[in-house]
Amino acid sequence: MLRAALLALVALLACTASAGAATSPAQKLDREMHRLVTMRQGPIGAIAIVQRGSKRTVYRAGVGDRSSRTPLRSTDHMRLASTSKAFNGAVALALVDQGMLGLDDTIAQRLPALPAAWGPVTLRQLLDHTSGLPDFSSSQGYIDALQRNSRMVFLPHASLLSFVATDPLLFPPGTRYNYSNSDNLVAALMAEQATSQSYDALLSSLVYAPLGLNETSLPDGVRLPLPYIHGYDNEGGRPEDLSTRLSGSATWSSGGMVSSPIDANDFARGYVGRKLFGSATQDQQLQLVNGHSEPTGPGSNRAGLAIFRYRTKCGTVYGHTGNIPGYTQFLAATLDGTRSVTFSISEQLNEAMTGRLLRAFNALRKTEETAVCVALS
């Protein structure tokens, strides 16, 4: 009996020690972020913000500037890449909520000067990428223009659509999903037409002001507000700084925005948490179709109106991803807006890459999911 009791006690102590030594989600996130920035061809820096209610925690790994070794700060500026599309959705859906735009409004009704073949496409189809519009950023003319001058400023912004103006629709509107940067350009132009205001003015009144975003903007040129997180191409032997290589006008409403991790976090909470439009409009937004964000976000992805559902092993969040030379972004929140996560790295990574860069992207997706787990745990 004594021997059995002693064995039971030893087993209990072993279990207790094991439980005490278990890695918490927050510790796992910290470890994975440091592993990510030390991978060969991994990012120079990574910063995540996780907020649960009023408690906000910042996680960092690496540096924000390779030359000066400046640490990453949550108030530093960075390029938002395609998470800009969520801001585009915020403007459009706020106007839908106010009755100034309709989800079934067509290009022919709002923008008759655009190609007649695009006429039947609706705002809804633009926002969930089922429009069939050809993607200006994939056109050879656009690529050639940037190769000649990567810092080229495209004004007026609608001129970006000229690269595909003679191209037919890729498929009948509403029949398929195809992620296209052209969709968000046209949605912004529809918002301008409906209000007789510039898209910049609409961002200010409908998004920045209600959410208190003071470090967010949509510049046309290549400069970033100081201080900023430097973005790099880490594919070669020596990382190349791409922070000011591409003008904001080169992607405009589909990817040109600049913000800080703190502002991006506040935006995610407000956008998903219905601070910019009501529940009836959000119900329309969350009528999901098969499709994933670019790059693919954590867990399984489905597409709504300028939003994606990310169903992870720890629960579900809604938001957007993005990548652009020098940066990859992820922002998301729960539907009540109380739990949120943003994850930013200073390198462009996506699933189209190969070798070590693809391994770095797969590690990034895993780490993004861990950050979601920290938010939801």
The pLDDT of residue 21: 52
Asked if residue 95 is part of any domain, the answer here is: yes
CATH number of the domain within which 330 lies: 3.40.710.10
CA distance 261 to 59: 11
Q: What is the pLDDT along the chain (377 residues), one digit of tens a residue?
A: 444 444 444 444 444 444 445 789 999 999 999 999 999 999 999 999 999 999 999 999 999 999 999 999 999 999 999 999 999 999 999 999 999 999 999 999 999 999 999 999 999 999 999 999 999 999 999 999 999 999 999 999 999 999 999 999 999 999 999 999 999 999 999 999 999 999 999 999 999 999 999 999 999 999 999 999 999 998 876 899 999 999 999 999 999 999 999 999 999 999 999 999 999 999 999 999 999 999 999 999 999 999 999 999 999 999 999 999 999 999 999 999 999 999 999 999 999 999 999 999 999 999 999 999 999 98
CA distance 93 to 80: 20
For residue 341, give both structure tokens.
């996560």
The pLDDT of residue 199: 98
CA distance 175 to 108: 19
The pLDDT of residue 229: 98
Residue 286 near residue 304, CB atoms below 8 Å:
yes
Residue 81 near residue 328, CB atoms below 8 Å:
yes
Asked if residue 170 is part of any domain, the answer here is: yes
Residue 334 near residue 323, CB atoms below 8 Å:
no
Asked if residue 11 is part of any domain, the answer here is: no
CA distance 265 to 83: 12
Asked if residue 160 is part of any domain, the answer here is: yes
Residue 45 near residue 61, CB atoms below 8 Å:
yes
For residue 315, give both structure tokens.
């629960």
- Between CA 225 and CA 65, with CA 231 as vertex, the angle to 5 degrees is 80
> Between the CA of residue 118 and those of 125, 166, 169, what are the distances in Å?
11, 10, 7
Asked if residue 19 is part of any domain, the answer here is: no
The pLDDT of residue 235: 83
Domain that holds residue 296: 24-376
- Between CA 305 and CA 69, with CA 82 as vertex, the angle to 5 degrees is 145
Closest by alpha carbon to 167, among 157, 180, 152? 180
Instruction: Label residue 69 left, alpha or beta by phi (over 0 means left) and psi (-120 to 50 means alpha).
Output: left
Residue 82 near residue 266, CB atoms below 8 Å:
no
CA distance 37 to 61: 7
* 3-state helix vs strand vs coil in the chain, percent to 5: 40, 20, 40
The pLDDT of residue 23: 86
Asked if residue 133 is part of any domain, the answer here is: yes
Range 281-285 contact pairs with CB under 8 angstroms and sequence separation of 24 or more: 281/93, 281/96, 281/97, 282/93, 282/335, 284/96, 284/103, 284/124, 285/89, 285/93, 285/127
* Alpha carbons within 13 A on the beta-carbon side of 335: 12
The number of distinct structural domains making up the chain is: 1
CA distance 69 to 352: 30
Asked if residue 70 is part of any domain, the answer here is: yes
> Between the CA of residue 252 and those of 128, 137, 156, 199, 255, what are the distances in Å?
18, 11, 10, 10, 6
The pLDDT of residue 12: 44
Q: What is the model's pTM? A: 0.93
Residue 68 near residue 98, CB atoms below 8 Å:
no
Asked if residue 9 is part of any domain, the answer here is: no
Three-state secondary-structure class, residue 318: strand
